Amino acid sequence: MSKELQPLNPEEGVERFLQYREPSVRESTLNNGRTRLNFFLEWCDEREIENLNELTGRDLADFVAWRRGDIAPITLQKQLTSIRAALRWWADMDAVREGLHEKLHAPDLPDGAESREDHLSADRAESIIDTLDRYQYASPRHVMMLLLWTTGMRRSALRSIDVDDLRPEDNAVVLEHRPEKGTKLKNGKDGDRWIYLGANVYQVVEDAVNHPERYDVTDDYGREPLLTTRYGRPTGDTIYKWVNQATQPCEYRGCPHDRDPEDCEARGADGYPSRCPSSCGPHAIRRGSITHYLNTGATPEIVSERMDVTLDVLYQHYDIRTEQEKMSVRKDVLESSGVFE
């Protein structure tokens, strides 16, 4: 008879595990473990997993697929070793099912395997949005990609937006934490904020409300979501799938992987969009958006407030600029200030 699991959110689970490990390992080992487990927390955030009890073998396979394209096989092996250790400890704490760690496998990657980008580049984002603007103006896919890229918001924030949250007089949208009405923001009430969209982006969002592809429905709480399915507000997994589909290169240019669209496992109604080596998820768009803002000269403080991310987390997980790119931004700011005159 299986024992009853006790709820434990991922952040607390990681912190408890690290506290357990602290007395018995070197500081460098503990810091390495923390870094590796932070990627697991990032994935939990993206998949909206709020209770370790929910984890299944299939979830762990999805995590491996999500992480494997970003790092070398040997690095992946090291990361999974840390996560297996955490899973064993969590099982002892009645937070996950016994033996779950045995279902975390790291398959060998073939030589020359394509790598999934860990962020959406500005060039790709602009190409996708330009194509949508030309051929699918104000469609649900267009407004989804436009909002994710221009605001860097999380998937949970995107799905929380109601038509009533639009502010035409300010060309803005309001994000609000409403757990009692079916939508949450990552940082709770601290994530409440107004986001300026600008006149052009706001016009697309406003036009999307009456787009023929948008279902005119309400959710279970009588709210009118901006993004809809025929059943109401989309789930987080639905938005993840939509983003995977929208970022497939064959949607806006030729396939770079020499696949036949008719036979591709990532295409079609029965396909798996995440199996496209070049598709990405909402978090990759968020990383790319934050980096793009920093590259164009927005201060880290402004990006922190707009994207609802602390400066420490921004620098550690989202700022993926090269050192040369960072210097270039500093140079532009200094030259515009007249320092070198």
Residue 334, token pair as written in the block: 């200094």
Cβ-contact 215, 230 below 8 angstroms: yes
Of the listed ranges 147-151, 228-232, 298-302, 325-329, the one predicted with least confidence:
325-329
Average pLDDT of the segment spanning 52-63: 91
- The predicted model scores a pTM of 0.69
Residue 106's CB is within 10 A of a number of other CB atoms, namely 17
pLDDT at 211: 96
Query: Among candidates 41, 106, 32, 100, which has minimal Cα distance to 69?
Result: 106
Q: Which fold has domain 10-103?
A: DNA polymerase; domain 1 (1.10.150)
Q: Considering only residues 258 and 307, tell me which one the structure prediction assigns the higher pLDDT.
A: 307
d(CA 228, CA 213): 9
pLDDT at 117: 41
Q: Do the strands 166-167 and 172-175 form a parallel or antiparallel pair, or are they unpaired?
A: antiparallel
DSSP 212-278: TTS-----TTS--BSS-BTTBSPPHHHHHHHHHHHT-GGGTS--TT---TTT-TTSSTTS-GGGSTT
Dihedral through CA 201, CA 205, CA 208, CA 210, nearest 10? -120
255-270 pLDDT tens trace: 877 777 777 877 776 6
pLDDT at 249: 84
d(CA 55, CA 49): 8
pLDDT at 40: 93
Residue 71, token pair as written in the block: 């790092």
Q: What are the domain boundaries of the chain? A: 10-103, 122-275
Average pLDDT of the segment spanning 228-245: 89
pLDDT at 316: 78
Sheet with 172-175, edge to edge strand ranges: 166-167, 172-175, 193-196
76-134 pLDDT tens trace: 877 888 899 999 999 999 999 998 988 888 654 343 333 344 688 999 999 999 999 99
d(CA 113, CA 277): 9
pLDDT at 270: 65
Average pLDDT of the segment spanning 32-40: 89
Q: Considering only residues 225 and 64, tell me which one the structure prediction assigns the higher pLDDT.
A: 225
Q: Which fold has domain 122-275?
A: hpI Integrase; Chain A (1.10.443)
